[in-house]
Amino acid sequence: MTARRVGNHVELDKEEARAGQSGLGVRYVLAISTLLVLFGFALVVLFQRG
């Protein structure tokens, strides 16, 4: 880890500071895939009744 104390705060490299962030595309893929799974479950329920 390359964190270093400067005065009263700690400085990190840009890559380390952004390590936990995910882009907006990841959120869109997660939301769309969740909706598609729910839609698939709804189709299964509808076709089992008929």
Domain boundaries, the chain: 22-50
pLDDT value of residue 7? 87
pLDDT value of residue 5? 85
Region 17-28: what's the mean pLDDT? 78
Any residues with CB less than 8 A from the CB of 11 and at least 6 apart, and which?
Answer: 3, 4, 5
How many angstroms separate the CA atoms of 24 and 22, rounded? 7
Secondary structure E strands in the chain? 4-6, 9-11
Closest to 15 in 3D by CA, of 33, 29, 28, 1: 1
pTM over 0.85: no
pLDDT band, very low/low/confident/very high, at 19 (cuts 50, 70, 90): low
pLDDT band, very low/low/confident/very high, at 1 (cuts 50, 70, 90): low
